[in-house]
Amino acid sequence: MDNNIKILIVEDDENLANNIESFLNDFASVDIENDGLSGKFAAIEDVYDLIILDLMLPGMSGYDILKNIRQDKVTTPVLILTAKSEIDDKIHGFDLGADDYLTKPFHREELQARVKALLKRSGALADDSILKINDIEINLNNHEVLIENDPIELNGKEYDLLVYLMQNKNTILTKDQIFERIWGFDSDTSITVVEVYMSNLRKKLRPSENDYLIKTIRNVGYIFQNEKKN
């Protein structure tokens, strides 16, 4: 499983949600919410690479969740999964900002293919498991990091941090988001560890003059900007 890919399933049928998780967790970390309100909260407060969203949910409908998260500037790809098969329902979902639509019942292989297609389209899942930005190239299979084809040694958390930043290029990530994603919200470690590891990562990128790609947004967090140095 590649823990750097994170998927949220909002589905009130617990058996279905667990079944979906079982055939996605070979390449992603999966969270499940079984009601609309908690699903909306998770989608807004956490950082996901994909949201699989049912429409008919207790507490808040999938349509309302989609409308709310898009109004809140959450750009995470959304795959609607529902028994509603009318064309008007599909159009309404796309109008609200859905990226794909799959009706129940569905074949496991089709859902997995659509999920991977959306992840590749957003850059979260690289073709051939290669993540490349400017001079930096990461092989997600063997965790090898190359800069201008020369290997660079990163420890586990430094590697996880670089992958997370690159997969969310040009997006501001708060310290809380980074801490929860890399260390986990229930970690005994202080959130100041984010600054320590960010500093260490910059030092390892400095010899190749790629440290400028990581920028600090004061009192907010960090952003990995996909740009060439002037």
pLDDT at residue 109, as a whole number? 82
Regions of the chain where pLDDT drops below 50: 1-3
CATH topology of domain 130-224: Arc Repressor Mutant, subunit A (1.10.10)
Residue 100: CB partners within 8 Å, gap ≥ 6?
Answer: 77, 78, 79, 80, 114, 117, 118
pLDDT at residue 2, as a whole number? 45
- At the second CATH level, the architecture of 6-122 is 3-Layer(aba) Sandwich (3.40)
Map out the domains of the chain as residue ranges. 6-122, 130-224
pLDDT at residue 32, as a whole number? 97
What b-and-e string marks burial along 139-168, b requiring 16 or more CB atoms within 10 Å of the CB? ebeeeebebeeeebebeebbbbbbbbbbbb
